[in-house]
A = this chain, B = another copy of it.
Amino acid sequence: MKLTTIYDVAKKTGFSITTVSRALNNYPDVNEKTKKKILEAVEEMGYFPNSIARSLTTKKSFTFGVIFVENLGVGIKHPFFSGVIEGFKIRAEKFGYDLIFLNRYIGNEEKSYIDHANYRGVDGIIVVCSNYEDPEVVKLIESPLPSVVIDIHSNKTNVIYSNNCYGGELVIDHLYSLGHRKIAHIAGFDDTYTGQERLKGYKLGLEKYSLGINESYIVNGGYFSYEGGYQAMNELLKLEELPTAVFVSGDSMAFGAIKAIKNAGLRVPDDISIVGFDDIELAQHITPALTTIRQDADLMGKKAADLLINHINNKEEGFSAVMLPVELIKRESTKKISVTQ
């Protein structure tokens, strides 16, 4: 399959490849007639410049690398991250950037993400990850490669995240207003920024209502997985004084927690109210439909693309950190109770 090149167009029109290139790239000083003739030939021949050759000379590939570091082992199927990637993709494509997935291998050789990014010559990367102590992620953040990182706070690169802390507070507001006073928290692993912030919001909320913090009511659910939530809830269920409500730091974890409650012969929300975080697709379909904090994955992806593109276009400036608003979505997993304590 021999593709037509700029040489073919030059030969056909009688102009040099230089002029053809200029006509194609909208250089101002090309004679209108010349340009017209060239563009017609281009149209007729179905010619389109080869991005690889162009990249080699311009040092711009108009590709973004996407780097996934997720602990669920689901890759692209991740219920929250996939929405972020989709939003990022839509926006990036609008600016002519295509997405290319980057892993830690090049062929069969194990390399760093940075090596892979350089190998492919991407203009920037989006890193979508939960664990910001992963040394590979740290290297990424500190590298000179333009990047935007999701769910992390850092001043060494562009970052974007939801207002996780405030989300936690909203949960407590909601539960408190329903009469709950014994509120537990299944936390995300504390080396994740989101886990930390949601926990912080939980504590701020409790303080606001002078509820006091009961350390046995805070249990670590790990990396936001169903199993982690299941196990953490089982810990809580061993307590003498059960909580009446649990704020779970992620929706999948919340589903696991609900499962544990059902297994123990208790009901949601009749015996224990549950609130999640994320508002993934499943949250509205499960029974009971999950009350949760909605993050706008699509917007996060789009804003991430904007950050990255702006960063690339304004080399001089520093880094941006963007925080997105969150919203409480009331569904069926929380219930009003009479205030006991």
B106 touches A102 (CB 8 A): no
Number of residues on chain A facing chain B (CB within 8 A): 52
* Contact among B77, B108, B282 with A285 in the assembled complex (CB-CB below 8 Å): B282
Residues in B neighbouring A118, C-beta threshold 8 A: 3, 48, 50
Interface string of A174-190 (1 = CB under 8 A from B): 00000000000000000
B98 touches A51 (CB 8 A): no
Task: Assess whether A63 is interfacial by the CB under 8 Å rule.
Answer: yes
B51 touches A53 (CB 8 A): no
Given contacts A1-B144, A286-B285, contact A53 B56 (CB under 8 A): yes
* Contact among B51, B83, B105, B115 with A119 in the assembled complex (CB-CB below 8 Å): B51
A94–B103 Cα gap in the complex (Å)?
10
A74–B287 Cα gap in the complex (Å)?
23
Task: Assess whether A49 is interfacial by the CB under 8 Å rule.
Answer: yes
Interface string of A119-143 (1 = CB under 8 A from B): 1110000000000000000000000
A residues 276-325 touching B (CB-CB < 8 Å): 281-282, 285-287
Closest CB of chain B to A21's CB: distance in Å? 15
Interface string of A23-53 (1 = CB under 8 A from B): 0000000000000000000000010111111
B108 touches A51 (CB 8 A): no
